[in-house]
Structure 1
Amino acid sequence: MMDQQLLQNLRAQTRPLHDRLEAIVDGARLMKPPFDQPHYARLLRAHLAFNLSVNEQFASGMPFEVRIPAWPEADRVTALKEDLKALDVNAAGEGMPAMPLAENAAFVAGLCYVAEGAAMGNQMIHKALLQHPEFAALGADRYMQQSKAGLSGRWKAFQQALGHYLKVSEESVIAGAKAGFLHFEGIWLALS
């Protein structure tokens, strides 16, 4: 069972960076007419670069005492590339800021916390986007659909692993989550 106090501590410690990133990305802009295709494409490109960065952490050969469910996340990357292709947008990540390799698995769990949180936040954006006929006609919501699929069960399974790493090194998980928010912000700004 996940220690809810540890999760609350993680949320409290990362809330300022979360809120700042939310303001910078301005997902609310996508929730009101007219549909802003360039902003949506930028969001997808940022998610692609971020997910690729997180996946790189798993390719480093670092030992994970407890598996982090759904990671490395190849399906998200595939869906993002297909959506960007549907939008006729280059999915290449040249010029994106690099994230240094993490020191331990708890740090990587913090990065995954940011990615899983983004998948949950995408659901509000996707629901609003579906109200725009021009969005529905694009056929570029594979990532949003993939994020939604099994979200509740995936979050519960993820929380179990996250709980383990919070108990092992709460400080490293929080550092990873903070680095994740800052990395996503850096990607977003590089795409401007």
Structure 2
Amino acid sequence: MHSPAHDVSAPSLLEALREGTGLLHVALEKRLPFFSERLDASWYQRLVRAYYGFYAPIEASLYDRDLIPVGYDQALRVKTPTLVNDLNALGVSDAAIHALPRCAHLPRLDTPAACLGALYVLEGATLGGQVLRREMAQRLDVNADNGGAFLNVYGADTGRRWRDFLDYLGHMPLDAKARQHAVDAARSTFSCFEQWLDSQEVLL
């Protein structure tokens, strides 16, 4: 019997993720204030606080479940500590960081495929961070030492780590149902992130 998991006409996991999240990605980008003329140092700090409030719980959810397929190097890719360092550099104490609100409405990450979908969104954001890093350096004089390390979290390794991640996804033997779970989780990650940032009043 022919298995649909090996149907050459079926989209790859990466293709399915790109197609399934493209519009959500564009919609969120339009609402981020990094290129707004009204963005100032205070708004930027609120953005970093809000990013921490999402990344801390979603990374905890991802890594505590032990569902991520073998091959993903968590130690190299965890981003919450960098956000903590940025907040410290912006004058936010550890006690104040601990007291920050955290997103409670997260995507369901109860399968390996769902974890891959969420990771696709989080890893993809590192590429966009390169553009934002240059904009923040020019506009607010923000750099890796004074509150902008998250925007360049992988530094010179950004391109290579993205390619490594795509290669990792390409080796995931997911059937059609699992691919759909990944896409649903990626879409939910975008939606939850936008709703969270909206609730923190940091979007345009």
Same fold (TM over 0.5): yes
Counterparts in 2 of 1:132 and 1:20: CA distance versus 1, 3 Å: closer
Counterpart pick for 1:37 among 5, 18, 41: 41
Q: Which amino acid aligns with 1:61?
A: D
Q: 1:19-168, aligned counterparts within 5 Å?
A: 19-29=26-36, 36-52=40-56, 53-62=58-67, 64-70=68-74, 73-74=77-78, 76-89=79-92, 90-91=96-97, 92-99=99-106, 101-132=108-139, 134-136=141-143, 139-165=146-172, 167-168=174-175
TM-score normalised according to structure 1 size: 0.80
Instruction: Spell out, residue by residue over 1:101-156, the C-alpha distance to the aligned partner (whole angstroms, 9 max, x if none).
Output: 41211111111111111111011011122223643597112222323341112112
What is the number of equivalent residue pairs in this alignment? 185
Asked if 1:189 is matched to 2:198, the reply is yes
**Separation of aligned partners in 2, 1:159 and 1:117:** 10
Q: Say which SS state the counterpart of residue 131 (structure 1) adopts.
A: helix
Q: Is the 8 Å Cα contact of residues 54 and 102 (structure 2) preserved in structure 1?
A: no
Between the two proteins, what is the percent identity of the paired residues? 25
Instruction: Spell out, residue by residue over 1:146-181, the C-alpha distance to the aligned partner (whole angstroms, 9 max, x if none).
Output: 233411121122112222347342101101110110
Q: Is the 8 Å Cα contact of residues 61 and 109 (structure 2) preserved in structure 1?
A: no
- Mark the runs of 5 or more structure 1 residues left unpaired by the alignment: none
CA RMSD of aligned residues (A): 2.8
Counterparts in 2 of 1:133 and 1:95: CA distance versus 1, 3 Å: closer
TM-score normalised according to structure 2 size: 0.76
Q: Which amino acid aligns with 1:81?
A: V
Q: Is the 8 Å Cα contact of residues 106 and 192 (structure 2) preserved in structure 1?
A: yes
Q: Is the 8 Å Cα contact of residues 34 and 135 (structure 2) preserved in structure 1?
A: no
